[in-house]
Chain A
Amino acid sequence: MTAILSVADVSKAFSGVHAVQGTSFEVEAGSITGLIGPNGSGKSTTIDCISGFQTLDAGRVLLGERDITGQRPAEIAKAGMIRTFQNVRVYDSYSLLDNLLVAGEAFRDLNWFDALARTPRYRRVRDAAEDRARGLIDLVGLTRLSDAPATVLSYGQKKLLAFAAAMMAKPRLIVLDEPVAGVNPTRVNEVADILRKANATGISFLIVEHNVEFINSLCHKVIVLEQGRKLTEGTPAQIRNDPRVLEAYLGIARPAAAEAEAS
């Protein structure tokens, strides 16, 4: 198997706090890979490092064959990796439709002349992007709200919108930081289904999530972090039965629902 993402010996410290310490792992092309670990184990920092939102102290990151170490977030996104944020980010005053239009890759890559002169090409791209956006809004079950400003959404609904926005860009790899935190439990299985379908079309996923069922039902491989280091990796079944993983989580596990409430 070839790797779509290779993370090699990545380290990151914040004024003495070693958030990530020499972590290495791979996401295989076409796979759904989980990244789990107790609170503060460095999952989000890892995502920030591979997506260009933090500079690395050490290590290398490859997206497919391409070395993306130290590149700007926008370059990395254009290269085919889109990430979402744990503290969900959307454009609050924009409608859901406009949120997705901004996220779309065809619309984004139009040149300025086409955009200003409203050429036929511009209108064609815009219409296609709008159709695609409406399809994705339907897919995550927010059709009723598609023209409402995103600020009226609940936290969980914003997570769904952010997920749709990530899909909108047609990336090769999507990195999700707690995609179902705060999402209505009846909806979580739907999200898992959508993810599986997207995966079947060739998109790879790296998912950080505290919802164990969600991770177990989806992932081909799970990587476990503890205090910035990779503790172990394996299939969900292997991870479930690994005493070290249980130990890492003991007493510090925090249910995802409580976290959503807090934010």
Chain B
Amino acid sequence: MTEPRWTPYAVLVAIALLAALPSMTSSNYVVGIAISGLIFLAAAASLNLVYGYAGQLSFAQLGFWGVGGYCAAIAVVDLGQSFWFGIAFAGVVNLLLSAVIGIVITRTTRHAFVVVTLTFALLAGLIARDWVGVTRGPLGIPGLPPPSLMGFVFDTSARFYYIALAFSLIALAFLYVLKTSRIGLILKAVKQNDPLVESQGIAPGPYKLAAFVIASVITGMAGGIYAFNLKVIDPSFLDFYYMQTFLIIVIIGGAGSFWAVVLAGAAMVVLPEALRFSNELRMVIYGVVLVAVMMFMPRGVSGWLEDRRIAALRKALR
């Protein structure tokens, strides 16, 4: 689907507003939500690359998120490295890990893919709990220090916010370039019709693998940043809640649509908070909204819009 002509302006306005957010509010609470939202969005957009573009439902994202978080924490606390080194370390470890896993599983069927990635995510949770020598088990690693850069310490929420914002924007920009390139075109072709892609001289394997690896690197780095936002990492970092959040953003927005997933990410962060006026009903209403969207728009908002467009086109062609 082609994007509206005013998209670049909307993006500029959004970036300007996001950049000004900490100066518009003094509430650490609001800034804190914005930080989580930005980091979740980068992770969800990566999941969209694997699931929405390459068509592979990967639960491994949760595992990569956790590996990234632990790698960053261990690099700083145990190896005495900087936060920035820790994030890069998280990216590199995930690159290697996902390449090994990816080479094996991008050749399997879609069902096997789901099972293997799910197993990996569960295994990562188990390791976080039981490999006490490295992860410190259920106690986790507390007291993660604030990042600093050339003497500037990111020790308040408002300061840390800019790390999350910069990371999220870079990750989204990269994914956008990827999506609009020939590689994105072929990835989505693979999802639509694998045999046709092969018959046209394109081996789908490298494309699926690339999507898997790129998504894992971004998710791992996002996890690393998120751990330092929490200032502590323990096995609850691998709670299914995170996977669920990424999945909901992708599914509500519409798998395979870049902007719809970005907007859904924003909505899914704001919605639960906007519903706080009634604390008891909050999660109930949230749930009802989710179920309603899934019932009436099973392919997400973008899928729904596309169906409408196609229906209109069909009518015009009659």
What residues make up the interface of A, taking CB atoms closer than 8 Å to B? Answer: 51, 53, 72-75, 77-78, 82-85, 89-94, 98, 101-103, 105, 107-108, 110, 112, 115-116, 118, 122, 126, 145, 148-149, 151-152, 165, 169
Contacts and interface: CB of A to CB of B under 8 A. Distances in A.
A169 B183 contact: no
Contact of A94 (B177, B192, B313, B314): B192
Contacts of B306: 93, 149
A102 B185 CA distance: 7
A116 B178 contact: yes
14 contacts: A72-B198, A74-B202, A75-B203, A82-B199, A85-B199, A101-B182, A102-B189, A115-B183, A116-B177, A116-B178, A149-B313, A152-B310, A152-B314, A169-B201
Give the 9 A-B residue pairs with the shortest CB-CB distance, closest first: A77-B201, A73-B198, A74-B203, A89-B196, A78-B201, A115-B182, A115-B181, A91-B192, A102-B189
Given A151-B310, A152-B310, A169-B201, A91 B196 contact: yes
Nearest to B311: A152
Nearest to B186: A102
B202 A108 contact: yes
A93 B192 contact: yes
Nearest to B207: A112
Given A84-B199, A118-B181, 14 more contacts: A74-B200, A74-B202, A77-B202, A78-B201, A89-B195, A90-B196, A91-B196, A93-B306, A94-B192, A102-B202, A112-B210, A116-B177, A149-B306, A151-B310
Nearest to A122: B182
A152 B313 contact: yes
Contacts, number: 93
Nearest to A84: B199
B12 interface: no
B200 A92 contact: no
Interface of B: 177-178, 181-183, 185-186, 188-189, 192-193, 195-203, 210, 306, 310, 313-314, 317
Given A91-B192, A116-B178, A152-B314, A82 B183 contact: no
A51 B317 CA distance: 36
Contacts of B197: 102
Contact of B183 (A83, A89, A92, A116): A116
Contacts of B192: 91-94
Contact of B195 (A85, A105, A116): A85
A151 B311 CA distance: 10
B194 to A, nearest CB: 10
A149 B310 contact: yes
A155 B209 CA distance: 33
Contacts of B310: 149, 151-152
A193 to B, nearest CB: 25
Contact of B317 (A75, A98, A107, A152): A152
A51 B195 CA distance: 11
B193 A91 contact: yes
B182 A110 contact: yes
B231 to A, nearest CB: 36
A20 to B, nearest CB: 19
Contacts of A105: 201
Contacts of B195: 53, 73, 85, 89
- Residue among B186, B199, B210 with the highest chain A CB neighbour number at 10 A: B199
B313 A82 contact: no
Contacts of B203: 72, 74-75
Nearest to A129: B182
Contact of B182 (A75, A85, A107): A107
